[in-house]
Structure 1
Amino acid sequence: MSDVAVWFDLDGTLLAFDDYGAVVEHACVEMGIDPTDAFLEAYYDRFFDAFRNYHPDPFRAGVERAVMATGSYVDAVAFVDTIREAEFDAAKVPEAVHDALAELEAADGVALGVLTNGLEEWQRGKLEANELLGYFDATLTSYEVGRHKPAPEVFARAEKLLPADEHVMVGDDDEADVAGARERGWRAIHVDGPESVGDAVARIR
């Protein structure tokens, strides 16, 4: 058992996106689809509904709804692959994040985890693509639990993965990360983005 388990949110905490909305628009252009307001609205409405309800592929559900709503044609599988590639390319990790994680990784009695809402394969893929996966002793996504943060079941599952005397959540979402963690009895540190992760780590140590 570790003295402390430090859990990090992923998107917006370890990974920065200059303009996440541009990811889907870029995929549209790459696939020869006009990213009209009607197409994007239909995509996002269905995507978020599917995501909230743990649809196995909310990205494909969003694309299929947008195609139906606008009369466009595109191969849904290829479109999702293009979105994935665009999202992975858009994610940025400041060097300060690597420095902070390396500092914690080297500390005695500290275990590191990622606790993120999202699909397991998708989120782990982003960690690996950005050379972050090796820092962590455990990763847990909301899809694996069948509940999204701030649901207590997510934090309870994390406690089983990394038993520790104390758990700390570092994240950018006041409700999902901070409120959810504190409700479970964890310490919680809010960050404004990846550039703030170093300050958060200093507060932990």
Structure 2
Amino acid sequence: MTEALCFALDGVLVHRTRSDAEILRDVFTSHAIEPTEARLATARASFRRAFDALEPEPYRQSMAAVVDAADSDTDPAELVATLREETYAATTVPGAARESLSGLAETSALAVIANGPREWQVGKLDRHGLTDSFDAVVASYDAGAHRPDTAPFDRLRERVSADEYVMVGDGDDVSGARAAGFVPIEYRTDGPDLWATIDALL
């Protein structure tokens, strides 16, 4: 029986070392914009509105809203570039994940299902040299809906043929996977070691 083993990206494969607020404060400061709480809130709200509606360039819309609120002449694209670099720099991949993926690739097709614009999410994999570890990467913007909608899972089925599909993630990942007919493996930061559990199960 062929198997496709799918992973959520943020919080499962790639872990954050700094909060969104810390990153945004550094981004604003580096462009001479005072990082007030109101501007942080503007950035988050503008991003969430655009992201939820699957509007193009949600990060640019977020930074443009901050530029307007601060009455700054900074090019929003420059803020986005800094935000992207600071966000990627604040990520890490557990050593156990790299070792486990190498072994799992010998027996299963590997894939990523991630919420977000494709370029931004694939960039995280590129940053850590993981892109070639996967047979497919599906971003919610590709599928026209964010998890827990089943559309990203359906798109993955179109990309990778298998008898059984397994999804490793948490929250919306698990509920969406179950609704799409995937076998869910729930990841909890306070639970047993994820990679040891996957190795034992598979």
Task: Return the alpha-carbon distance in structure 2 between the equivalents of residues 131 and 197 of structure 1.
Answer: 21
1:145 to 143, 150, 153: 143
Q: For residues 31 and 192 of structure 1, what CA distance do their matches in structure 2 show?
A: 37
Kindly provide the CA deviation profile for residues 128-147 of structure 1, in whole angstroms up to 9, marking residues without a partner as x.
Answer: 11011111011110001111
Tell me what 2:90 maps to.
90
User: Distance in 2 between the 1:51 and 1:192 partners?
Assistant: 25
Please say if residues 5 and 162 of structure 1, whose CA atoms lie closer than 8 Å, have aligned partners that are also in contact.
yes
Tell me the equivalent position of 2:195: 198
Structure 1: gaps (5+ residues): none
Matches within 5 A, 1:100-115: 100-107=100-107, 110-115=108-113
RMSD across aligned C-alpha pairs, in angstroms? 1.5
* Percent of residue pairs identical: 34
Letter in 1 for 2:187: V
Dislocated runs of 4+, deviation >3 Å: none
Aligned to 1:77: 77
Flag structure 2 segments of 5+ consecutive residues without an equivalent.
Answer: none
Query: TM-score, normalising length from structure 1?
Result: 0.92
Please give the secondary structure, in 2, of the residue aligned with 1:168.
strand
Does residue 178 (structure 1) correspond to residue 174 (structure 2)? The answer is yes
Q: Secondary structure at the match of 1:56?
A: coil
CA deviation vs aligned residue, 1:33-87 (integer Å, no higher than 9, x gap): 1111011101100001001111211111111112223334421010000000001
Q: How many residues are treated as equivalent by the alignment?
A: 199
Matches within 5 A, 1:28-39: 28-39=28-39
Name the CA distance, whole Å, in 2 between partners of 1:199 and 1:56: 38
What letter corresponds to residue 84 of structure 2 in structure 1?
R
Matches within 5 A, 1:122-141: 122-141=120-139
For residues 67-109 of structure 1, give each alpha carbon's deviation from its aligned partner in whole angstroms, at most 9, with x where no partner exists: 22333442101000000000111111110110110110122xx
Offset of residue 203 of structure 1? 4.4
Query: Distance in 2 between the 1:203 and 1:71 partners?
Result: 55
Task: Give me the TM-score of the superposition, normalised by structure 2.
Answer: 0.93
Question: In 2 relative to 1, CA 150–76 (structure 1 residues): closer, same or farther, beyond 3 Å?
Answer: same
1:181 shift after superposition: 0.3
Q: 1:187 aligns with which of 150, 174, 183?
A: 183
